[in-house]
Amino acid sequence: MKTINIVRSLILGIALLGGPPVLAQTPEQIAEKALASSPVIDGHNDAPEQIAERFGSDFSQFDFRNTLPTTGANPKPMHTDIARLRQGRVGGQFWSVWIDPELPEFEAVQRVIEQIDIVHRLVDTYPDYLQLALTADDVEAAQSNGRIASLIGMEGGHSIGNSLAVLRQTYALGARYMTLTHWKTLDWADSATDAPKSDGLSEFGVSVVQEMNRLGMIVDLSHVSEATMNDALDVTKAPVIFSHSSADGVTRHSRNVPVSVLKRLSANGGVVMVTFVPSYLNAKNRDWAAAAKAEEARAAALYPGDESARTTYLANWRDAHPMPSVTVKDVADHIDHIRAVAGIDHIGLGGDFDGIPFTPDDMADVSTYPALFAELARRGYSAGDLAKIARRNILRVMRGAESTAATMAKSKKPI
Query: Has 244 been annotated as catalytic?
Result: yes
CA dihedral 323, 324, 325, 330 (to 10 degrees): -130
How far are the Cα atoms of 130, 193, 252 from residue 256, in angstroms, in the given order? Answer: 31, 11, 7
Query: Has 220 been annotated as catalytic?
Result: no
Q: Which entry of 79, 158, 182, 334 is annotated as an active-site residue?
A: 182
Query: Has 352 been annotated as catalytic?
Result: yes
Q: Which entry of 244, 253, 337, 346 is annotated as an active-site residue?
A: 244
Query: Has 223 been annotated as catalytic?
Result: yes
Sequence-ordered alpha helix ranges (H) in 191-346? 203-215, 226-235, 259-262, 265-268, 278-281, 283-302, 307-320, 328-341
Sign of CA dihedral 229, 230, 235, 237: positive
Query: Has 44 been annotated as catalytic?
Result: yes
Spatial distance between the Cα atoms of 337 and 48, rounded to a whole number of angstroms: 31
The DSSP bridge pattern shows strands 347-349 and 241-245 to be: unpaired
Spatial distance between the Cα atoms of 155 and 109, rounded to a whole number of angstroms: 13
SS3 content of the chain, % helix, strand, coil (to 5): 50, 15, 35
Least Cα distance to 268 among 211, 213, 206, 193 occurs for: 213
**What residues form DSSP beta bridges with 13?**
none
**Residue 266, C-beta contacts closer than 8 angstroms, at least 6 positions apart:** 342, 343, 345, 346
Q: Which entry of 42, 81, 138, 155 is annotated as an active-site residue?
A: 155
Q: Is 249 helix (H, G, I), strand (E, B) or coil?
A: coil
Structural contact between residues 392 and 38, judged by C-beta atoms closer than 8 angstroms: yes
How far are the Cα atoms of 27, 72, 74, 101, 159 from residue 69, in angstroms, in the given order? Answer: 33, 10, 12, 31, 32
Q: Which entry of 79, 158, 223, 253 is annotated as an active-site residue?
A: 223
Q: Which entry of 49, 138, 352, 365 is annotated as an active-site residue?
A: 352
Spatial distance between the Cα atoms of 241 and 277, rounded to a whole number of angstroms: 17
Residues labelled catalytic:
44, 46, 155, 182, 223, 244, 352
